Structure 1
Amino acid sequence: MAPFNMFVTLLGAVYILSSGYLRLTTEDTDTPRPLRHDCPNTTTFNPNTPYQSNLDDVFSKLTSNAARGTDFIYFSASAGSENSTGNSSDYVYGIYLCRGDISSTMCHDCVLASITDARQECPTEKEVIIWEELCMLRYSNQSFQSTVSVSPSFILNNIMDATDKNKLKQEVEKTMNEFASEAANGAKKFMVQEASISGSEKIYSLVQCTQDLSSQDCTTCLRNANSILASSYSEKRGGRVLFPSCNARYELYRFYDVQQQTALVPKGKSKMSTLTIVEIVIAVSTVSLALLVTTCFVLRRKRESHKYNTIHGRNGESEITTVESLQFDLETIETATNKFSEDYKLGEGGFGEVYRGILPNGQEIAVKRLSKSSNQGTEEFKTEVVLVAKLQHRNLVRLLGFCLEGGEKMLVYEFVPNKSLDYLLFDPAKQGELDWSKRRNIIGGIARGILYLHEDSRLKVIHRDLKASNILLDADMHPKISDFGMARMFGIDQTEGNTNRIVGTYGYIAPEYAMEGLYSIKSDVFSFGVMLLEILNGRKNSGFHLTKFAPSLLTYAWNLWNEGKGLELMDPLLKDSCEANEFMRYVHIGLLCVQEDAYNRPTMSFVVHMLKSETISLSQPERPAFSVGRITHHHEQEIAPAHSFSDNGLTISTFVPR
């Protein structure tokens, strides 16, 4: 083992001498500076403040995870008190990304080094990105999860010129792009590859994305990086592109560890090398061990099957298996809600009732109680349990558990104190609480939540009832999408469905769904566009015909846009907090989402990208769907006026079976 370690050390020394990269260092040559860092001083914090405390908490979480023996390559963490200051600017969101071929020890050391560099290079900035040789650290007071970021970007090139520049350019463009999609679909979002150029010369490539990206977004990010390498820097013997969301690199020497990484794709190899044999032996041993562990786990699960309860779907297949800890007994729910006291009731409708509750540990909950007389209650219950139990995202309401006892069917959710978006947005007495900063954050949060449903969750989920009353607001006004009873799960390759029974809410339903029963992810995009325009204007789309302006909010927005008077759409309460250019960009995005032809509407991944970047040019919107008609099969049950807006904002709807 000692000779091998000596060889690795020697190889590392050769790499440093031969790589050809210029590195700036401090006077002490033992402490190299980071490859690159970015920390604009547009937002800063003072020492010994809540932000500093939360940042230290995030650093601690990141370093702790980096020391783990498994799943250490990428990690995200956040910190902030929802009740102390009530100021979302004190929140800290952070991630690190270690190169996929290094060990947990190396990852941990790199994360520690990046934190040290961050404190030195960016001591008071809130928006920080540090790129080290083997890892990246990023943190901000704004959430950036599941969002493609290609700015700021840095390009580094090997200072040595290639011998055959044209040949190398062709190979860089070919090899870098052909495995970008394969890497994007992998669990680690990381891959390396080697390919022969001519004779014994080879090109070695590496691509990696942050693991929160969808496969589509990862592919897009990598291809952007690869195009830069191929067009501008392929005449050099090496180059790399650093984006916040991904990175790509090529060299004419092997710069990664073939024994640590697990996604090597060799090309043009006629003979099996010693290292390849070692890799195969390790792989076979790993698979064998995994099979043994899996077998033991299955046998143990069979012995402990009495601890689980299963809800069965069609044909008797198991739709959800939930461990006992997720189940609430009826006595606990009755105690929490004072035996479903009227004083604890938050709302009611055709589905049943919603109650506020307090668990013995002091945690507040919202209990959704299925009406025993509802013909479709069991189906709706199964739909929400199957869906929501699998969905975990900060912009989705969190399911804490359920109860199936004494003939009751109940869902237990986290309690969200600031009610629903429509409670504040459409009440003239409360609209003032939503300045532009809050509305912009709400729009972005809703978009990220829908993106998670469409692309990043285990299955593609179409909500089908997105509206302002189904957007709950937590203590810091972060949005949480709720009410999944009308949602549909799709397979990864399925893009649309149809039905003879139209469900949803008038004013938010896409025209192709209302008229033909066709629904897809673009149906949700339409609903999002309606909400976006409502947030900008402060008035409902449905019922807008009661005003003197136009038959609908969409018509009004479209007319103003074509007349060059888009700023007149602005809620007067926003005039002191919203810049005209930013407002008009949001109007533009909203109109793109509500175009009549579903094909022309953007995907939610592109919507999130448009909301985040001011440099993306937007296409000209086509005519929106001015009217979708009254829905004869509409099943939405309006909540009684006395309970129109509940403390948790849960809407109560009737649902159709799948």
Structure 2
Amino acid sequence: MNTLVLIFSIFTLPSFLTSTEAVVWLFTYCPNTTTFTPNSTFQSNVNRLLSNLSSNANRSSNGFYNVTVQTTNNAVYGLFLCRGDVVGTDACGTCVANATAVARQRCPVEKRVVIWYDECMLRYSNESFFSTVTDWPGLYMRSTQNATDPTFQFNKVIEASVNQAASEAVGDADKFGTNQANVTGLISVYSLGQCTQDLSAMDCNRCLRRAIALLPGCCYGRLGGRYVFPSCNVRYEVYPFYAQNASSAPEPAPGPPPPPLPPPKGKSKIPTSTIVAIVVPISASVLLFVVGYCCITRRAKYKYNEAAADEPSGENDITTVESLQFDFATIQAATSNFSDDHNGYMSPEYAMHGHFSVKSDLYSFGVLVLEIVSGKKNSYFFQTDPAEDLMIHAWKLWRDGTPLELLDPCLRDSYSRTEVIRCIHIGLLCVQENPADRPTIQSVILMLTSYSVTLPLPQQQAFFLRSRAVGNMSEATLDSAQSINKSSPSVYEGSITELYPR
């Protein structure tokens, strides 16, 4: 992110697609949030659209086709995109035909569908998405094999190669670009970038750069990886996974430096003056370091003792864990009888039992996160129930699968769906009732900075001084991968498929 050694035990060099070769299914996305009634006018329009797409796949000259089937209040918008190197082959038509069959089988009543294959992508919806960048949902796949040291060199070559492929795609009329770059004399990286052809060059570039920016978190250091959006995708491998253009051969890698000349036979003599010139400065440096360290240590110890002598010792000094524990009466007096002005950020184990730990601060942090997202303070938060605070309200929305309803109305016109949901998720993890279930601050930092980290499901949040409890959340409601995927992630060619819920 010595000679670079890459492992090829999983991958084999594939022969390119022919008319008889099977296409490779990757993922199906069709959430059941918007559905239609079977045997309705909308279903009839979907069937007409799928037949239209399938019949035009073999006739398309550029591997892309979009169409609208519309009747009153029942419009369906759809398109397909074939990988640029399979355009003009039977593989494009075969892939689209398979995708339409999968749509009918796995998404029989869903209105929004995206199906990815290795060779094509098919998409349709009841809302128009033409000429619009769509980066949700996101799907990444990566090889199970790592590049051996030095990974920095390998990652540097990947970054340059995928960026070059993206630049070629932006400037290409069919929005398709590839690149081959050398890692060593024997190992090359093959990269691909592609957008749907209804996008402008600016939107294509924006989509591809977004996908490339997410590659390091999921795939760098692996022998292969890709990031796929409905509007664009990028991919790299250490084998030629696309049909190559003979004119795009890479520049040869520089050869290894010549080996050093062997020393002359016999004993070589080093002059005494050279030995003295080397040993004396080293010895002097070591001596000065030791003397300086001793002086600094003694000075620090003297200052510490002097400060300790000046500071009186009292019964209120915090010297042990027990000194952080207080009885109920003390806590009640300090919080003005648990006034809402004081207990909004205090962890329940500290407020009720005087038990304090590093996880108590994580609780307060979680409350602050939920306040920032909602634009409301926990101490003065009231919805339908006067006894309901911000955390209970956020928990109910999360449990019901509608976390975005917590968002401050002032932000409704400009926000990132993924970031808001992730912040709410992290906030609920921090306010869990059991301190052991709360994450560490190091884990929170990693969750906020890396989308490749899988977040655990939050348990019931902590709340106290309340007369009602909130039931346990259904795991099936909150698992985003389960709710939008009707089949388990696929594993092929040693790669792991994961849905990236942005």
Classify the TM-score, shorter chain. 0.3 to 0.5
Q: Which has the higher contact order (CA 8 A, sep 6+)?
A: 2
Larger radius of gyration: 2
- Scaled by the length of structure 2, the TM-score of the pair is 0.47
- Scaled by the length of structure 1, the TM-score of the pair is 0.36
